[in-house]
Amino acid sequence: MGVFTLQDDEMTMQYFRFGTPGGKPFVIIPGLSLKSVMGMTPLVEVQYRTLAGDHDLYLIDRRSNIPGSYSIYDMADDTAKALDMLGLKDPVIYGVSQGGMIAQAIAVKRPDLVGKLIVCSTAAFIGGKASALFESWARLADEKAVSELMMSFAEHVYSEEYCEKNRDAFLEFGKAVTDEELRGFAIMARSFGGFDVRGGLGSIKAPVLVMGAGRDKIFEPECAREIAELTQGEICIYDDEPHCVYDSNADVLLRIKRFADKQTAS
């Protein structure tokens, strides 16, 4: 258990494995971030302790060698390749925000890799409002306007109260962001362009759980409802929560555990 590297001629990807070896495989695909989630593995392990007793958990990062153009479909292909290399059988795939888009794309293109699909605070396509936001983040990263980028990111992801309380911490965190991380962030922020899997969601046969947040400033609750309708999946909307409901509300992981552990008809 720990951080490991997957590599072939085209890509290098890291993943963090924790939980119970031999347990039910559970794959976490995180959202867009300025820094790699591999630097936050102790916090991840604490956050997912509810699942650790029964599940063999894998947190899969984006590839390390990010090309100049890198779409969500490319990310999905790379993540699918990682799952092939790991040899996981019928894992639960859980994606949040951008990770939820990657998870949907995998479920559509590679249904053999998905035992159950769970997505939170995400969408099946990118509309004009969200597209403009992501492009503004990419532009700020290009310009190395780190403080402005950090606060815009925080204000859209977290609650107003949380942002106000932790403003200094966000700005301090931004001081540790490197030029290479800004470059990668800009590329991944532009990856949303053209994303639309609505036409393929009806083909997903795996059980689906969709979660959304009523105060999400990036993806409104209607985005979650659309995914649930197109996949005939279960849905839960947390009315008073922000985009980061997956981090801020403990009920999310309790609901995920119940769904992951539920027996399905053969």
| Cα separation, 127 vs 255, whole angstroms | 28
Q: What single DSSP character describes residue 250?
A: T
Which strands, in side-by-side order, build the sheet including 24-29? Answer: 2-7, 12-19, 55-63, 24-29, 92-96, 116-120, 208-213, 234-238
* Domains of the chain by start residue, with CATH: 2-125+195-261 (3.40.50.1820), 129-187 (no CATH)
Specify the pTM.
Answer: 0.96
Each residue's pLDDT expressed in tens, for the chain with a length of 266 residues: 899 999 998 899 999 999 999 999 999 999 999 999 999 999 999 999 999 999 999 999 999 989 999 999 999 999 999 999 999 989 999 999 999 999 999 999 999 999 999 999 999 999 888 999 999 999 999 999 999 999 999 999 999 999 999 999 999 998 999 999 999 999 999 999 899 999 999 999 999 999 999 999 999 999 999 999 999 999 999 999 999 999 999 999 999 999 999 876 54
Structure tokens at 179: 């030029």
| Cα separation, 205 vs 213, whole angstroms | 25
